[in-house]
């Protein structure tokens, strides 16, 4: 065998070994990656975007706010919101602001996350500025989307609740 053929064989042998080593290192670093997060800033005036759908049905939302603020009014309940998650996340935190004429202790304002079994994981909103955390391990996913519900069972017929346009959804892995 000539020296040229031997050199070519050694070259390709070491090339394949180097590529295999690079692939293994890439997989190890990806699995050990730092905590991944995704942050959505909601715009209630635009009900459909690539990542967020809602609040819907739109007949239960009024675009003119009763408090002259940047936001929308909830005029009937419940309303729903779909959030797109491009990969698996373990925790979701929802932060925002709700305004109402009556004290929060008299209101039963709840934000829920749809679970695999079809029920809702409700958390009560007890103050104007709120932050709620949900575990996403049992959440129902449909096309990488999960669904939130805003429900106020104690809402009177002519009552209005203002959703301030500063809500954020944080997804963490």
Query: What pLDDT does 139 receive?
Result: 95
Query: What pLDDT does 68 receive?
Result: 63
Cα–Cα distance between 83 and 92 in angstroms, integer?
A: 11
CB 55 within 8 A of CB 147: no
pTM as predicted: 0.77
Number of Cβ within a 10 Å radius of residue 139: 17
**Three state DSSP letters for 22-51:** HHHHHHHHHHCCCCCEEEEECCCCCCECCC
Query: What pLDDT does 138 receive?
Result: 93
Number of Cβ within a 10 Å radius of residue 105: 7
Whole-number CA gyration radius for the chain? 25
pLDDT-flagged residues of the chain (< 50): none
Q: Which helix (H) or strand (E) holds 9?
A: helix 3-31
Query: What pLDDT does 40 receive?
Result: 94
Query: What pLDDT does 124 receive?
Result: 94
Query: What pLDDT does 66 receive?
Result: 65
């Amino acid at each position: 065998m000539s020296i040229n053929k031997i050199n070519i064989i050694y070259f390709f042998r070491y090339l394949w070994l180097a590529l295999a080593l690079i692939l293994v290192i890439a997989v190890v670093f990806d699995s050990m990656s730092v905590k991944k997060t995704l942050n959505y800033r909601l715009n209630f005036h635009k009900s459909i975007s690539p990542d967020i759908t809602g609040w819907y049905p739109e007949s239960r939302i009024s675009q003119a706010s009763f408090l002259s603020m940047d936001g929308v009014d909830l005029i009937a309940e419940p309303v729903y919101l779909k959030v797109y998650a491009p990969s698996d996340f373990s925790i979701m935190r929802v932060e925002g602001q709700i305004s109402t004429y009556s004290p929060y202790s008299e209101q039963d304002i709840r934000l829920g996350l749809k679970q695999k079994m079809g029920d809702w994981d409700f958390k009560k909103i007890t103050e104007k500025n709120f932050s709620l955390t949900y575990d996403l391990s049992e959440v129902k996913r449909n096309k990488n989307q999960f669904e939130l519900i805003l429900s106020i069972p104690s809402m009177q017929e002519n009552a209005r609740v203002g959703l301030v346009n500063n809500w954020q959804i944080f997804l963490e892995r």
